[in-house]
Structures are given as C-alpha cells and as structure tokens.
Amino acid sequence: MNKIDWAAFPDARGHFGPYGGRFVSETLMGALDELQQVYEQYIGDPDFLAELDHDLKQFVGRPNPLYHAERLSQELGGAQIYLKREDLNHTGAHKVNNTIGQALLAKKLGKTRIIAETGAGQHGVATATVAARLGLECVIYMGEEDTRRQSQNVYRMRLLGAEVVGVKSGTRTLKDALNEAMRDWVTNVDDTFYIIGTVAGPHPYPAMVRDFQSVIGREAREQHLAMTGKLPDTLVACVGGGSNAIGLFHPFLGDESVEMIGVEAGGDGVETGRHSAPLCAGQPGVLHGNRTYLMEDENGQIIGTHSVSAGLDYPGVGPEHAWLKDIGRVNYVSVTDDQALAGFHRMTRTEGIIPALETSHAIAHVLDLAPQMRPDQSIIINLSGRGDKDLNTVAEREGITL
Amino acid sequence: MSRIEQRFAELREQNRAALIPYVTAGDPEPGATVPLMHALVEAGADLIELGVPFSDPMADGPVIQKACERALRFGTGLRDVLAMVAEFRKQDTTTPVVLMGYLNPVERMGYETFAETAKAAGLDGLLTVDLPPEESEDVVGLLEQSGIDPIFLIAPTTSETRIDHVARAARGFVYYVSLKGVTGSQSLDVSALAERLEGLRCHTGLPLGVGFGIRDAETAAQVARVADAVVVGSAIVRLAEEHDGDGEAFARAAAAVVREMRTAMDAARSPGAAATV
C-alpha cells in the first residue's frame, strides 16, 4: 500500500474515495455549510479544545483505563487482551465523547434546541445528558420497536428532561428514527442542532464525529505504549454505524504494523439474509446523506435488518469504513447473535465486566482470534459500552423473567 | 425544443401558470397509475410529476410516506415506474412527465441504464430530492445526453451564491420549495413567496415552479399569480388514502381537485383579476 496521508480524508466536500459526500435536500445545505464552517474553526481552536478536554475529564471521567484482561488472555492461551474501558464513561458508553463535542458547537452556533436519533438508546441518553447540563431543549427520535426493547433508556431520557418520540414509520427501528430526525431538522433548521450519533450522515458529520471519538484511540495508543513499550498488534471493535470503531482505529491508521478488524452484526447468520452487515454482504448506495455500503434490494429499496443488539440494527455504515474496506486497511467480519451472546457471558464471568450486546460482537470475534496469536502479541478490544441496558434482552432470550 | 420547454412556452403565450400534480406511482396499486395520469391531464394538468416509491422518504411528510408504503406493498420499483411512463406515452405524446424521488433507486439501476431506459420510455425530467448539484455532475451529463432535464430545488435557506450554482445546473424549470419542512406542511406565506421569486428571477431565466404546502384551490390561485408553475402533491395523494385502495374513485377525486385548482388558477391570471396578492 502506498503511503496515505490519512489526515487528508475526507476531501473538502466530505468524500472518502467514492463514499461520503452530502446527499440531502436543498433546505439543509445551508445549515450543513454553517456547521462545517463552525466545526473547522473550532476543531483547531485551543480555547475550544481546552473546554472540550475539561469536560471530558471532569464530566465524562476521561481518561478511562486500558485494562489488561489477564484471566481471559490466559484462558484463551494466545494474545494478551486489553480492554479500552469506554463503558466506564459517564452514561456508560463511548457515545458521550461525541455529544459533549457537538453540544459545545451547538452553543457556539446559538442553537437552543437539540434533536437526535437513537437505536439502543445510548446516544439518546448521552444527548439528553448534555442537553440537561447545558439547559437546552431536547427531542429524541427512537423507533417504536426500540422503545420497547430499551424501555429503561427511554425512561432515563425522560428523567433527563428529553421528549422521546416513538417513530411508527417503516421498520420502526434506527433508520426510521434517523428519517424522522431529518424531517424535524428540515422543519426547524433555524433554531435546532441535530446531534448525529455515528460516523454517518452528510458531511461534515462523519469527519466531525470521528474527530470527537478519536480520543479513544489517542488514549489507547499512549496507554498501550506506556504499559508494554510497543504498539498493539490488532484492534477489534464492533461496527454498526461505526463510531466507536473509527474512534479507536483512526489514530492508528498510519501505524502499518497494526491490524484492524471491524465486527458487524451477523444476526441469524449472513447467509440467512437476517443480519445487519452491509460491509460484509451489502453494496454501495446512497442513504441518509452519504454514499456508503447499504443493505438494499434489487430496486434500491432499503431492506429490514436484524440484530440482537438495537445499536447495530442499521442497514448502512459510516462512509470512512466503506473506504477503509475497499482499500484493504481494515478487515470487516461478522458474528452471529448467538456468538455475541457467548461473548457477553464469557466476558462477564471471566473478567467481571458486563459488556453491551453491541460490544459483545467484538468480544466474540476475539474469542476465536486470540488463540491463533502468540502470547507476546496483543489485541485491544474497544469495550464500547456496558450491558446494563441489555439485561432484559439477554434474560428474555434465555427464557428468564426478571 | 424539449417537451418541458414547449409546454412552458405555450403557457407563457396564454398567460397561464402550469399546474403540476404529483402522484406516487403504484399507489394504491400499479394498475391505477396510468389511467390516473390521463385523468389528471384531462382535468387540466400541464405536466405530471410521478413519484418513485422509496423505503426511506426523508423529505416527505406522512401523506407521501404512506403512499410509498402502499406502492411498495406491490413492490413497485423504478423499472415499473418507467414502464408506466412508456404506457402513458402511447396515448399522450405532449404532456411532460417528470420523475420525483430519491437517488438510491436510480443509483442501483445504474445511471447509464436509467438514462437509456428513461429516454426510450419518453421521460422528460428527473428530480432527486437528495441530490444537490454538487454531487450531480456524472448523472447530469448522462441525463442531458438522453434529453432528460435534471430538475433542481431551491429552498428558503438557499444562499445567493448557491442559487447561482443551482441555476447553472438546472434545466426545464426550477422547483422552489416554498417552506422549511417536509412535503404536505402547513401555512404558506404567499407575500414572502412573491418577494423571493422576484429575487430568483435575477438569477435564472428558467420557469419557476412552487411546491410544498399548496393545500387548496385558493392557495394554488394565489401562487399562480406569482409563479410559473404550481406543484400539488399531498393535497392529491391524501385522496388515495381516503378512497382506501379504490384506484378509480381516487382518480375521480384527484381529477376533481385538479379541475377546481385549474379554474381558480386561470381566473387568478385573467385580465380582470386583482393583480395583487
């Protein structure tokens, strides 16, 4: 591979190779130009960055640990496994790294109202949290199917003062919540800031969310070097939209020795068609403001997805992942619902850490991968979120009534 | 001269504004669409905007979302929609037809295949709401080679510099989105609209169509005084829902609405009508 200047992507119009861009209705183009301008201005502004760092430290609790999972490493008998503990952030997942940053930009733009979409509810909770802290009005769109699966998070958002709107259109999951949030934004564009929760959507969102999430990889890189004196061999993260994965991967892209693996939701198995793995089994198309890999039928209609984890239940993926797949820098695989559940239990019982079902996909892949590696090698798993929100889902699958 | 240019030239000569009804292809069922198109022309439509059903119609309000869902129950896809245009052309060779929809079905079909098939079907224009001019260079070139006009939107939020950019890329007519919101929204401010259209005429010589928020004959007449074309979507499509799957009853009701709007619009442009809004 030729040396790539990773910082040069996306280009000025938001393209990662053929992916990304800005495919939205005309009404939003002005707001996106304005957002891009303000984001480019502040992302290099020392005062803004100091404010962001202060909030990440004092409110989120960063830096969080890079934890050596010694017992799991020993049991698997291969590579040393390290966990980047995003589950220890305030609100329990990596999502808050991004909402803190975008909410600060919303204030700079003088917006008084925040909207967001959410799948599992983690991004909704992280958004409602920063809105409460800044005293901003907050509306969260969530597919009706997901409000049922994640009722605890719905209640958390309401406690935080957010209005939660159950979306009844389409498949009633994350993609429909995104459609509805876009409709709200196009109607209330003057006073409203849309905090997108993943590295997808129209430019500048994929780049901006990546930049806010890259704190994960910057810390992990420094921590791993300090603990072991070398870089890790492999990074593993789950990929729905792909924000936790890009946050871990991006600061390592220039480290050619570091291998990266994104794990998609294989649902009942990619061969069954009931899954959420567009990079493994989809093809390029245009949805939600960007060109990327999608799950669609022969007429270009977006098809229903399936995953045990609401946060991965999405037919698209961030455009930077699409590009990293095509150029071969990152390898994308999938694991099934059952494998993810096994990963969930293994981590819980072996390390005393209850991971989110999304995260459990990354863990499941490492259960296979680690034994194939040597004990002097290492893997970092992005432990992107904690599993409290998933206890009902896990219990239900196992026939237990709580 | 393209069919769209021809139609606007005729209307200008008659001092009339174009009436452009929008219907979602395949709603309430695939067989209903071509007879419906003929009925709309009969009732006074000058140009037909045919919606391509999409699973994720982000720019549309609930009325057109539901129309898409009804059409998708029968699996109506872009190829089917182009076949409907071809069928319509067998009887009507003068009324322009513009497809309105989202980019992904066109992208999936392939731009070249689309341009060829659309040309053969007798399509006149394509409006993809999620394709701004910045991303459209490839597709616009192919469309122009096939004689299909790329139609672009201008919104209340479009800046002066972008207006020029959009106007340069646009052909046929420019579609002005009359309000911030999705299709079928309420409350159109006609005097603000008049001022805005005046401004737009400094940037483009193309006819200016206005859509989003035109709910009844009265509003259509007000808009017809200041615009070159009036696009009516949700006010017609909601009748499909009311007539619950009965395509013929829907066509009769839609034709009645078009006829009423036609009369009101022509009266508003007649020499005796009040010149102010």
pLDDT confidence of residue B127 = 97
* Mean pLDDT rounded to a whole number for chain B: 94
Q: Average pLDDT, stretch B100-107?
A: 98
Structure tokens given for B194: 């008049």
Query: Which of B37-41, B50-54, B250-254, B268-272 shows the lowest mean pLDDT across its residues?
Result: B268-272
Are A9 and A323 in contact, with CB atoms under 8 Å apart? Answer: yes
B180 to A27: CB separation less than 8 angstroms, yes or no = yes
CA angle A313, A316, A322 (to 5 degrees): 130
pLDDT confidence of residue A203 = 98
Contacts of B182 in chain A (CB under 8 A): 183, 186-187
* Pairing mode, strands A66-68 and A80-85: antiparallel
Question: Is B239 a residue whose pLDDT tops 90?
Answer: yes
A300 to B105: CB separation less than 8 angstroms, yes or no = yes
CA of residue B1 relative to chain centroid, distance: 20
How far is A271 from A269, CA to CA, in rounded Å? 5
Task: Express as a percent the part of chain A with pLDDT over 70.
Answer: 100
| B273 assigned to some structural domain | no
Q: How far is the alpha carbon of B123 from chain A, nearest alpha carbon, in Å?
A: 19
Q: Average pLDDT, stretch B248-258?
A: 97
pLDDT confidence of residue B277 = 44
Q: pLDDT, tens digit, for every residue of B3-37?
A: 999 999 999 999 999 999 999 999 999 999 999 99
- Fold match flag (A14-56+95-209 vs A62-92+216-397): yes
Q: pLDDT, tens digit, for every residue of B134-163?
A: 999 889 999 999 999 999 999 999 998 899
Domain count, chain B: 1
Query: Which of A149-158, A278-287, B73-82, B104-113 shows the lowest mean pLDDT across its residues?
Result: A149-158
| Residue A290 main-chain phi, psi, to 5 deg | -145, 160
Are B9 and B173 in contact, with CB atoms under 8 Å apart? Answer: no
Question: Is A22 a residue whose pLDDT tops 90?
Answer: yes
pLDDT confidence of residue A2 = 63
| Burial of residue B244, with CB atoms counted within 10 A of its CB: 0-12 exposed, 13-18 middle, 19 or more buried | exposed
The 8-class DSSP code of residue B85 comes to H
Question: Is A186 a residue whose pLDDT tops 80?
Answer: yes
Out of A13, A31, A296, the one facing B134 most closely (by C-beta) is A13
A26 to B158: CB separation less than 8 angstroms, yes or no = yes
Contacts of A186 in chain B (CB under 8 A): 59, 180-182
Give the A:B interface size as CB pairs under 8 Å: 125
Query: Which of A163-172, A193-202, A357-366, B122-131 shows the lowest mean pLDDT across its residues?
Result: A163-172
Q: How far is the alpha carbon of A22 from chain B, nearest alpha carbon, in Å?
A: 7
How far is B100 from A59, CA to CA, in rounded Å? 47
Task: Express as a percent the part of chain B with pLDDT over 70.
Answer: 98
ipTM of the complex: 0.94
More confident position, B182 or A114: A114
* Smallest CA–CA distance from A174 into chain B, residue: B56
More confident position, B188 or A130: A130
Are A81 and A378 in contact, with CB atoms under 8 Å apart? Answer: yes
Structural domain boundaries enclosing B112: 3-268
Please report, as a single letter, which amino acid is at residue A163. Answer: E
**No. of helices (H) and no. of strands (E), chain A:** 16, 14
pLDDT confidence of residue B91 = 98
> What is the CATH T-level fold of the domain A62-92+216-397, as seen in this structure?
Rossmann fold (3.40.50)
Q: pLDDT, tens digit, for every residue of A31-76?
A: 999 999 999 999 999 999 999 999 999 999 999 999 999 999 999 9
Q: pLDDT, tens digit, for every residue of A96-144?
A: 999 999 999 999 999 999 999 998 899 999 999 999 999 999 999 999 9
Query: Which of A324-328, B28-32, B209-213 shows the lowest mean pLDDT across its residues?
Result: B209-213
pLDDT confidence of residue B185 = 72
Contacts of A189 in chain B (CB under 8 A): 157, 180
Q: Where are the domains of chain A?
A: 14-56+95-209, 62-92+216-397
CATH of A14-56+95-209, one of 3.30.300.30, 3.40.50.2300, 3.30.565.10, 3.40.50.1100: 3.40.50.1100
Contacts of A301 in chain B (CB under 8 A): 53-55, 72, 77, 104-105
How far is B173 from A110, CA to CA, in rounded Å? 36
Closest residue by Cα to residue A291 from A278, A303, A304: A278
- Looking up residue B33, the CATH number of its domain turns out to be 3.20.20.70
pLDDT tier, B188 (very low <50, low <70, confident <90, very high otherwise) = confident
Q: Average pLDDT, stretch B195-201?
A: 94
Out of B58, B78, B157, the one facing A300 most closely (by C-beta) is B78
* Mean pLDDT rounded to a whole number for chain A: 96
Q: How far is the alpha carbon of B105 from chain A, nearest alpha carbon, in Å?
A: 4
More confident position, B1 or A303: A303
pLDDT confidence of residue B274 = 57
pLDDT confidence of residue A150 = 86
